[in-house]
Structure 1
């Protein structure tokens, strides 16, 4: 092996190790801290079970097979195959499913936000909205459950649990601007310590009662249901807590890549979780009084406070998994036209998926603190937890099956068999959690309903606005022909770039410029930005330049839904087409619409007002497209919706 090849191999191994460490630090905090509360809720929650050997072994068997079927087989091995050019998450999966369905039916592919609200799009919006609900509940639940360890050590400290939780959450969200790579590098070693610790604590108990290993036999799970009947089914609402965080594995794929996440799960996380759950069950079999906190009571008395400190750090990291997922999901929603433009910052020069969105960060923090203050304890929050997770699991399964059949060409019988197995598990978990709706389960449903309403309103409002602007404009070809013959309009030196959402009509800004200034630049360029249903469009396919007539050009700029538009950078690529730009000598013309709601429109009046409010909060086109502010001219117009 040559020195060059050896160095390249060492570099690849070093990068894989760094990404795997980062994945441990960011991706697995959520599911990795589930042992804090899962078994406690199974035996001490609303539908508490009696502590009999049959129940303990049955619950352990259910937890084991949930981790195997839901996380390992479904997410790690199946869903993560739906790698949309490096990106994951529900909207990325939606884009794959939509593209595959359109290709199979002979339709044209395009952004998810175009066309009618199809069943696939509706499913994707619901899934994304449920993930936002999960993103709010997970940090509140995880950090609260860790800090509640103080009550186990000293009951008098109960009153400080909520204030301490709020302070920890504020500190967590304050460091998000440093980026997931730095956060992951900081959290990775802590999570390795966490998994080694919980695995070791569990192993000690398993060594004392090795018979608990028999719980891997699914007959214990079957016997559990035969013994407990309806109550046993309802306890599935607590068992599902063991797999919360599975969706974050897929949502965070763009941050670290598929293989590092899979490697971390199979090599570190799954063995540690199984050992800890087995250890808790062994402890309950030998000491039923440990049911009040089987996780913390695994530790010797001298190790309780250190374990509380480590648990608190681990649950802070658990929050990081969904926070990173929310950032990724939000950027995809912006690019796919499902929410207003937001300020998005890249936090890594190497990994494009590592981003920070200030508004999403602080909005999420406010919502999480609200949940902590209202619910006060992790046990109460547990009632709200499962609905969002299980609803998301069902939608992910359905979309992934569409991709498997339409895109991967898997036979229908294989997809049906796989779907029947996954959905049987997903729907059972969802049904068991549905009884919690009156007791807190309504919270994620309300969050999801509000989010779906906002996304659908923005999507619909943009479509109505585009039609209104098209009605007030002129066909571009006819306009250019008329200008070529006209001698009334004076041509001035320089280049004018008009940003337009439609490549076939005259931008309103151009018509206003002609009306008020009665001049055209020597070179007039119409720029349309399109977002494809892929995460990234390579630079070689970024721009398409068309010469329309003497001095008139049309440029189409294409991006993926995980890329940020940068128009000056894109214009530099036009040199390959014989069209050069000096950005600082170019004038950029933008239309600024003042939206006016009206009765008898294509939207309900309240939705029109909501759309107008959302539009006012949108980041300016100058900032979003990275245009030089001192070269931008904005021309306003009033538009009745």
Structure 2
């Protein structure tokens, strides 16, 4: 059923329809679509005398950046890395991890971390750029309270979902792109000669001959900062809808930048107002500020939702601590993670209070996105290699993107002292958490010891299940296991069952949950260890599937009883139970760091950091969708490095 549903979703996404194009325009292009508000303010200083070489060179670089980075790299190439309809850096990692897992995971962690860092700086700079347009009428307006109020509102509404307000995203963004295209064309009509900047030689001349022209790439890069979102949102709107919509989007963007360039050349001097607002006709100026504010809110909303999706994928791929995940609406794929929501809100407000103005925020913007794009370039190269693309196509493509993005990275490094260090710090902190979590899980799993079921342990379990002298602990007793092999079980689970008080149950269940590369897989496999006594269940869940193990268990038991694979007719208790499947308990056995460890300083710091992260995340009952009334928690000590034998001296 799930496979059929997902197939129909893919078929819908592959079709280009008006509704799909509208949704794509509203969800996908918000970030890159609001970049004309602040890109030129990062390049042209207030009061600067406009040099035609610089103005035309900047426009040429913008046009070719949108062409090389957005059109060729993301629209034409990266969108082909389709993980069953899903996109994004972690979906890309899932496609290639079986081939290059050891190296690809580092790239995915770095790219994902700095993409989240981008999600921290984008809402403040976008909203600030729009609100600061009011300074034409109120030069001394304190915009900080207004920006913070909008951001708080934006994060508060996340918990209610965006199903209703999301319907206006498409029409508003279509209006926005039409608006920036029209006013750009009006400004351009006064000087069509700026279109000669389509010739890349103007851009090359700027970078090579204009004084300090190369360093302007740090500001020019802002025109493509939303390109990564195109791939991340592929699962929401479909690849073909993104590609077709991009024709309209790119045309509007180029007209806007060309119009701003024409105004700069005619004015001869930049002022304190963004070139974008300088080309807005005065009679519609206030509506333009309102529209730009709505556009930045929509862009921020899309980016926040993208961060939730990114976090959810990282959690299911074992790269991030578990957090509570809520699905607030009926829209497939839409989710809400409270921890991430409020953390992002605090970080965004902190950015506003630190930088105060969008012109200062631009110093921190771009660096994190450049690192994400570089990570994506390496990952997409590995993807092409795994799909056996021609080396004659892979090598030139990779070298071209590496040359472009390395140039942007070098230019953006200049921003570190001006505020870029904040984004580096945030991205590095997120990456460190991911690395600690992943390494901690791997280390912990290596220390888990297993025993064979056959013959002794299974016979003992069946004997306990059929005992009439030991009180029943629960009709069904469910344990989670890391063993994909049906013939093995953790010693900690055996200790839990066979340690006083003995846990006698009519039926024992052992759940092994496998997260698949397919984002929407929902399958299970039953292996009978002993009919009517013990079963090993393997779940295969996609990394975007909400794991509701409590619900899944009840459905499985009913199905097995209907097919005759599980019978309880011989149980006297069944005559009195109101629940047809009987009572059940999930036993969650967690580890804690034993005091018997003797660890070096750095290893001790790492292990304790991992356990501290576990305490911040949610428990297994929340993560696996278990009813708290049906869960029993147990702890066992984990010894990483045994202490030396202690010699105790007995005193008479």
Query: Does TM, normalized by the shorter one, top 0.5?
Result: yes
Q: Does residue 235 of structure 1 match 2:216?
A: yes
- Alignment-derived partner of residue 354 in structure 2: 374
Provide closer, same or farther for how the CA distance between residues 67 and 579 of structure 1 changes in structure 2, counting only shifts above 3 A: farther
Displacement of 1:488? 11
- Alignment-derived partner of residue 106 in structure 1: none
Contact residue 49 and residue 55 of structure 1 kept, 8 A: no
Contact residue 390 and residue 430 of structure 1 kept, 8 A: yes
CA RMSD of aligned residues (A): 2.7
- Residue by residue, what CA displacement relative to the aligned partner does 1:257-316 show, whole Å, maximum 9, x if unpaired? 2222223222x3111111111110111111123453211010122322222222111111
- Alignment-derived partner of residue 25 in structure 2: 24
Q: Give unpaired runs (5+ residues) of structure 2.
A: 1-8, 568-579, 641-652
Q: Does residue 534 of structure 1 match 2:518?
A: yes
- Alignment-derived partner of residue 368 in structure 2: 388
**Which of 124, 147, 152 is equivalent to 2:131?**
147
Displacement of 1:426? 0.9
**Which of 516, 520, 537 is equivalent to 1:555?**
537
Q: Does residue 223 of structure 1 match 2:190?
A: no
Correspondence list, 1:132-531, <5 A:
132-157=116-141, 160-229=142-211, 231-266=212-247, 268-292=248-272, 293-351=274-332, 353-407=333-387, 409-468=388-447, 470-471=448-449, 474-477=451-454, 480-483=457-460, 490=467, 492=472, 494-503=475-484, 504-506=488-490, 508-531=492-515
Displacement of 1:91? 1.1
Contact residue 319 and residue 437 of structure 2 kept, 8 A: yes
Q: In structure 1, how many angstroms separate the alpha carbons of the residues matched to 2:185 and 2:591?
A: 65
Provide closer, same or farther for how the CA distance between residues 617 and 29 of structure 1 changes in structure 2, counting only shifts above 3 A: same
Displacement of 1:371? 0.7
Contact residue 518 and residue 543 of structure 2 kept, 8 A: yes
Higher Cα Rg, which structure: 2
- Alignment-derived partner of residue 648 in structure 2: none
Displacement of 1:554? 0.8
- Residue by residue, what CA displacement relative to the aligned partner does 1:448-506 show, whole Å, maximum 9, x if unpaired? 111111111111222232233x23x5334455345168679836583222122234323
Contact residue 252 and residue 324 of structure 1 kept, 8 A: no
- Alignment-derived partner of residue 637 in structure 2: 638
Query: Higher helix proportion, which one?
Result: 1
**Which of 588, 591, 595 is equivalent to 2:589?**
591
Deviates more, 1:249-258 or 1:474-483: 474-483
Contact residue 290 and residue 297 of structure 1 kept, 8 A: no
Q: In structure 1, how many angstroms separate the alpha carbons of the residues matched to 2:526 and 2:43?
A: 62
Q: In structure 2, how many angstroms separate the alpha carbons of the residues matched to 1:173 and 1:480?
A: 52
Q: Secondary structure at the match of 1:498?
A: strand
Correspondence list, 1:18-57, <5 A:
18-44=19-45, 51-57=50-56
Provide closer, same or farther for how the CA distance between residues 67 and 459 of structure 1 changes in structure 2, counting only shifts above 3 A: same
Q: In structure 2, how many angstroms separate the alpha carbons of the residues matched to 1:18 and 1:173?
A: 27
- Alignment-derived partner of residue 643 in structure 2: none
Provide closer, same or farther for how the CA distance between residues 485 and 547 of structure 1 changes in structure 2, counting only shifts above 3 A: closer
Provide closer, same or farther for how the CA distance between residues 134 and 585 of structure 1 changes in structure 2, counting only shifts above 3 A: same
Displacement of 1:163? 1.1
Correspondence list, 1:87-106, <5 A:
87-99=86-98, 101=99
| Superposition TM-score, scaled by structure 2 size | 0.87
Displacement of 1:255? 2.5
Q: In structure 2, how many angstroms separate the alpha carbons of the residues matched to 1:594 and 1:422?
A: 46
- Residue by residue, what CA displacement relative to the aligned partner does 1:215-255 show, whole Å, maximum 9, x if unpaired? 111122122234315x1110000000000111111112222
Provide closer, same or farther for how the CA distance between residues 613 and 561 of structure 1 changes in structure 2, counting only shifts above 3 A: same
